[in-house]
Structure 1
Amino acid sequence: MQTHTLARLWVTAQFGLLALMFGWPAPQWRLSWPSLALLAAGAALVLWVFWHNRPGNFNIVPEPRQGAHLVITGPYRWMRHPMYVALILFMAGVAVAAHSPVQWALWTALGVVLNFKAAMEERLLSGVWPDYAGYARVTRRFIPGLW
């Protein structure tokens, strides 16, 4: 399968899971302190990412944009994919608020999709920026110091 097609499939899977998490089955929404904390943590991380990596440098498809630059400051100093981590945190808040094992299963599937999407993105970034391999050796994919 071509890289471009596979990249689009990962994005489609990601957004399909997000849509399902918000509406299937109809969750019994109950916000709680844990859900609000996860939602806020995800939103705060997004703001921190935007402070260090302007939107024009992003690409929703895991393919480097032409003219983009490698960012290794701010949250990128601690994790290679802070936007994915922000999404995982935010959607964990959604799963907590939904009070449904279905949402937790969808959240787990989302984490798997984002992991494969990140791996694909990293292969492509390594081809564009030779320094990416060194950066990847010292910076974890999602969880600083662990993974």
Structure 2
Amino acid sequence: MKIKTGWFIRRILECILALINITPSLTVIINPLFFIMFFPLGAYAILSWPWIILKDLSDPFHPGESLYWLTYAIKIDGENIFFPSLFRWGIIDLTLLTIGLIIFLASFIFWLMNLKRGGGLITSGIYRFVRHPQYLGIILFTLGITIRSLRPISLIAWVTLLIGYLILASLEERSLLEIYGQKYSEYSKRTAFIIPYLKFNTPKWLSVGKPYRYMILMIVWVILVIAIITSMRGIVFALRSIAY
């Protein structure tokens, strides 16, 4: 028993030392840029909450109604294993949660190890397939939560998160191009932006250095939010089940 206990303690110490080895200095962790990465995720968490304040906000597309219906949960009837009910997980949401978490943790650890080695442009590992794997992981993870929730407000929150990370990734691209120049330009040509193997030839007027890119993303966000509010009310009231 003593041998097993000693072996267990040694393994714990080895894990702690390994984490210390890949963890950068505290000055890196408390850098404001580190926290900016989680701003869209914070917006998602805030918007996803079934705010009681929505009871006092009128629905601009349905006179006489409040926007509180956005917090209603849609119930999928029957034992459908692909979509979740209000009380259990389905295959789709669990798969997205798992894949998203794995991608995020793998890329985050890879990023920390790179910082420990002195930083620099990362083009290997998971970064060979996508330039912003951490954002991809968060997007997939929160999509799983959104499907699990089955609330219009959660869908609006996820769309907000998605557009937020597209904007944040674009701003990062502009900064990386200034730092690494041609090296990053070549890397971006052979590596997908945020979805693996999906590459676009972006027009110059939509490049990361142009304001039109961000204006279009904001317009897309507004259109999607309006589409959700105008189209999902009928679905919600046809299949609704308020989870309170």
Q: Over alpha carbons, which structure has the higher Rg?
A: 2
Q: 2:198 aligns to what? A: 146
Residues 46 and 86 in structure 1, CA contact (< 8 A), matched pair in contact too: yes
Aligned length: 132
* Distance in 2 between residues matched to 1:87 and 1:27, nearest whole Å: 24
* Distance in 1 between residues matched to 2:154 and 2:113, nearest whole Å: 29
The alpha-carbon distance between structure 1 residues 27 and 11, as it changes in their structure 2 partners (threshold 3 A), is: farther
The root-mean-square deviation of aligned C-alpha atoms, in Å, is: 2.7
* Distance in 2 between residues matched to 1:20 and 1:51, nearest whole Å: 27
Pairing partner for 1:48 from 103, 106, 118: 106
* Distance in 2 between residues matched to 1:43 and 1:115, nearest whole Å: 19
Q: Deviations over 1:77-110 (max 9, x none)?
A: 0100000000000000110111112111211111
Q: Deviations over 1:22-42 (max 9, x none)?
A: 523567654222111111011
Residues 35 and 94 in structure 1, CA contact (< 8 A), matched pair in contact too: yes
The alpha-carbon distance between structure 1 residues 45 and 11, as it changes in their structure 2 partners (threshold 3 A), is: closer
Contiguous gaps of at least 5 residues in structure 2: 1-32, 52-70, 74-85, 200-244
Q: 1:103 aligns to what? A: 154
Residues 80 and 136 in structure 1, CA contact (< 8 A), matched pair in contact too: yes
* Distance in 2 between residues matched to 1:94 and 1:27, nearest whole Å: 15
Residues 27 and 98 in structure 1, CA contact (< 8 A), matched pair in contact too: no
The alpha-carbon distance between structure 1 residues 27 and 54, as it changes in their structure 2 partners (threshold 3 A), is: farther
Structure 1: which amino acid aligns with 2:145? Answer: V
The alpha-carbon distance between structure 1 residues 87 and 12, as it changes in their structure 2 partners (threshold 3 A), is: closer
Deviation larger for 82-91 or 31-40: 31-40
Does 1:20 find its partner at 2:42? Answer: no
Does 1:70 find its partner at 2:128? Answer: no
Residues 41 and 90 in structure 1, CA contact (< 8 A), matched pair in contact too: yes
Residues 17 and 109 in structure 1, CA contact (< 8 A), matched pair in contact too: yes
Does 1:87 find its partner at 2:113? Answer: no
* Distance in 2 between residues matched to 1:88 and 1:111, nearest whole Å: 6
Structure 2: which amino acid aligns with 1:108? Answer: V
* SS in structure 2 of the partner of residue 53 of structure 1: helix
* Distance in 1 between residues matched to 2:174 and 2:41, nearest whole Å: 22
Structure 1: which amino acid aligns with 2:137? Answer: A
The ranges of structure 1 where at least 4 consecutive aligned residues each deviate by more than 4 angstroms after the TM superposition are 10-13, 25-30
User: RCO higher in 1 or 2 (8 Å CA, sep ≥ 6)?
Assistant: 1
Deviation larger for 30-39 or 126-135: 30-39
Contiguous gaps of at least 5 residues in structure 1: 1-6, 58-66
TM-score by length of 2: 0.48
Q: 1:64 aligns to what? A: none
Residues 52 and 73 in structure 1, CA contact (< 8 A), matched pair in contact too: no
